[in-house]
Chain A
């Protein structure tokens, strides 16, 4: 069974159609990429899947169950976790506290949540920051915290919203390593990214959005040579550098 299946997804804001007839299928264990220029509707698609917006039309199935309009916290309990493009740490709290909030999704016990949170932090080589105030972390560490929190909820499918934006090249490589490691753990990953180099290196399968519409789909190298994709990106600030 497919872990995520989207059929004919629409989203309108007032008179503006932000997302038009998007269909895609993600198989378990995949790293699935969603790319496109700024304002192409990528985040809108994510927000529809993650329950922030109710879709205007179309169907979303998670593990074969229709999840249209399901609230975010219920989706999390079903095994769908996400990170935010603009990171949202609980800034006045420690890193451990942040991750424990995620861990509480699967347990009511504080000690159990703490144990699980520490395990996640160790797994992400992040345990030395456990007592740091989340608001004082660097951008790269905040992005990592986003992933750590999401991971603590024990997801089957993880939506990563531009976790590499704003990172230095060395940090991007590190993040790519982390994501590959997650897949090794059996987590399916759906990733939005602007940084082509990273997404080409990571993804098994890529969908390209432009003005809310899917314009190409396939293996990364196929998509990168697609004429419509190149046209969509040209004139935009992002340049393809086949990684």
Chain B
């Protein structure tokens, strides 16, 4: 019984970090109506940035946020501005720019394989950081410290993002653009600028997620793929475009992964996640908090 509670708590903690990794995916989809298939690769890049920042300076992993978040914002901003925007412009008339999805898969392949080229296939991790292997002892339960801080960070990030989109002028412009591509020009802002911003913000949240992962997770060139696929499932469960949905979707997956092994072989839990995804696709394709799209 106590194990079940422990697994539940750890599942929620890890799940909220999954949600955090998917947050950028849902923000970018909400505004651009495009699935950014390179999101996992951007997370991977952010993890390498975090890894090297902490490795070389020896600071507390969470302090690297001040480096990672701006770097990733700029990276995402210009990735959209230079690579993706021209395609949006060329396909202005098209209802759903599939070509943009394709280009993001191209970015995925380039980033993953360039990283492989530069850093090699080996797994890296921060051996002695302030958080690694630390546990809270709660009665008979052991709760992972780095995951706990990841959980807190996920909630704060989601809250900040929500506040930013609801309350600030730029946030409102972003939301207006998500409803209607032309709306932002009425507010005196170019829609492409809004796309750049949304892409930058989405990539910056991947940076936050990378910082929470680094204290206890390995870095390698294809680490993004794991989170990519999980991210896709999470945003469909939660509803594409919904911030709360991404967190909730992440927690559902975290719970299945951590509580599942109590009842079945661990390998089956992964199959359960995919099965749940399919069930959702059939019964509630718009997800828990999603908007039901017309054609």
Contacts and interface: CB of A to CB of B under 8 A. Distances in A.
A236 to B, nearest CB: 20
B128 interface: no
Contacts of A91: 93
A89 to B, nearest CB: 10
A226 to B, nearest CB: 34
Contacts of A52: 294
Interface in B261-276: none
Interface in B68-114: 93
Nearest to B95: A88
Nearest to A88: B95
Interface in A64-106: 91
A199 B169 CA distance: 43
A52 B295 CA distance: 9
B263 to A, nearest CB: 42
Interface string B123-149: 000000000000000000000000000
Interface residues of A, number: 3
Nearest to B295: A52
Interface residues of B, number: 2
Contacts of A135: 93
Interface string A41-72: 00000000000100000000000000000000
B91 to A, nearest CB: 11
A135 B93 CA distance: 10
Nearest to B94: A91
Contacts of B294: 52
A91 B94 CA distance: 9
A200 to B, nearest CB: 32
A118 B294 CA distance: 33
Nearest to B93: A91
A52 B294 CA distance: 9
A137 to B, nearest CB: 13
A136 B256 CA distance: 53
A210 to B, nearest CB: 24
Interface string B268-295: 0000000000000000000000000010
Interface string A124-146: 00000000000100000000000
A91 B93 CA distance: 9
A170 to B, nearest CB: 27
A75 to B, nearest CB: 15
B133 to A, nearest CB: 51
A15 to B, nearest CB: 16
A91 B294 CA distance: 21
A135 B294 CA distance: 24
Contacts of B93: 91, 135
B286 to A, nearest CB: 15
Interface in A19-61: 52
Interface in A166-196: none
A49 to B, nearest CB: 17
Nearest to A52: B294
Nearest to A53: B294
B36 to A, nearest CB: 26
A16 B46 CA distance: 45
B181 to A, nearest CB: 13
A32 B294 CA distance: 29
A211 to B, nearest CB: 22
B253 to A, nearest CB: 31
B58 to A, nearest CB: 54
A141 to B, nearest CB: 16
A152 to B, nearest CB: 22
Interface in B208-243: none
Interface in A194-229: none
A55 B290 CA distance: 22
A13 to B, nearest CB: 11
A135 B94 CA distance: 11
3 contacts: A52-B294, A91-B93, A135-B93
3 closest A-B pairs by beta carbon, nearest first, are A91-B93, A135-B93, A52-B294
